Amino acid sequence: ILAGDQQLAASTLHFPAQSKSAMDGGSSFQAFTAAAAMEMEEYLNWKKNAPVLYDLVVSHPLEWPSLTVQWLPSGSSASARSHRLVLGTHASDDSPNHLMLVDAVLPLPPRLAAAAAAEGRAVPAPSVSIGRSASHQGEVNRARCMPQRPYTVATKTCVDEVHVYHLGEDGDKGGADAVLRGHGAEGYGLAWSAMKEGFLLSGSYDKKICLWDLKAGNGAPVLDAQQVFEAHEDVVEDVAWHLKDENLFGSVGDDCKFMMWDLRTNKPEQSMVAHQKE
Instruction: Show me where the domains of the chain are located.
Output: 1-60, 62-273
Given this model, what pLDDT does residue 146 score? 97
CA distances from 133 to 44, 69, 75, 110, 199 (A): 31, 14, 23, 33, 24
Given this model, what pLDDT does residue 25 score? 55
**Could you tell me if 81 and 105 are in contact, meaning their C-beta atoms sit under 8 angstroms apart?**
yes
pLDDT, tens digit, 9 for 90 and up, residues 249-275: 999 999 999 999 999 998 999 999 999
User: How many Å apart are CA 105 and CA 74, to the nearest integer?
Assistant: 12
Given this model, what pLDDT does residue 22 score? 41
Q: What is the pTM of this model?
A: 0.81
Given this model, what pLDDT does residue 169 score? 65
- What CATH class has 62-273? mainly beta
Given this model, what pLDDT does residue 165 score? 95
- Quick one: which of 128, 195, 188 has its CA closest to 154? 188
**Could you tell me if 150 and 73 are in contact, meaning their C-beta atoms sit under 8 angstroms apart?**
yes
User: How many Å apart are CA 27 and CA 21, to the nearest integer?
Assistant: 12
Which regions in the chain score pLDDT beneath 70?
1-26, 75-80, 169-172
The DSSP symbol for 116 reads H
Residue 247: CB atoms within 10 A of its CB come to 14
